Amino acid sequence: MFGIGKKKIDKGAWAEAIYGKKLKNPEKESEEQLSALTTGLLMQHHRIILDSVRLVHTTKNPDTRAGRAELCHKHYQEMLKLKPFCNKEQLDIIRNAEDAMKGVKLL
């Protein structure tokens, strides 16, 4: 049996969320490896979102502003694909990106 609070993880869905494609043998991926990759991807998306938010608020060029707002949205959508597999720290990264994006409107 599983420990208390430990839910069965769909490694196939998790690996697909990370790699963007179905793996032949996702069960061979360790949870530690999947979690490390998840953190890395979330941090990458987070950095791009923060850089884009800064540019949205500072650029005078409307095309740059629109492009960066769209980029924020795209990277946030990628974060949401990983959300079902996140631990508390990883969810904090997503929440931080959400907070940073407040006030960034898609045109």
Residue 3 pLDDT more than 70?
no
Region 53-73: mean pLDDT is: 95
Dihedral sign (CA 95, 96, 99, 100): negative
What band does 9 get if pLDDT is binned at 50, 70 and 90?
Answer: confident
For residue range 75-96, list pLDDT tens digits in order.
999 999 999 999 999 999 999 9
What integer pLDDT is reported at residue 106 of this predicted model? 66
What band does 4 get if pLDDT is binned at 50, 70 and 90?
Answer: very low
Are 105 and 69 spatial neighbours (Cβ–Cβ below 8 Å)? yes
Residue 34 pLDDT more than 60?
yes
Region 2-26: mean pLDDT is: 81
Among candidate residues 85, 98, 103, the one with its CA nearest the CA of residue 17: 85
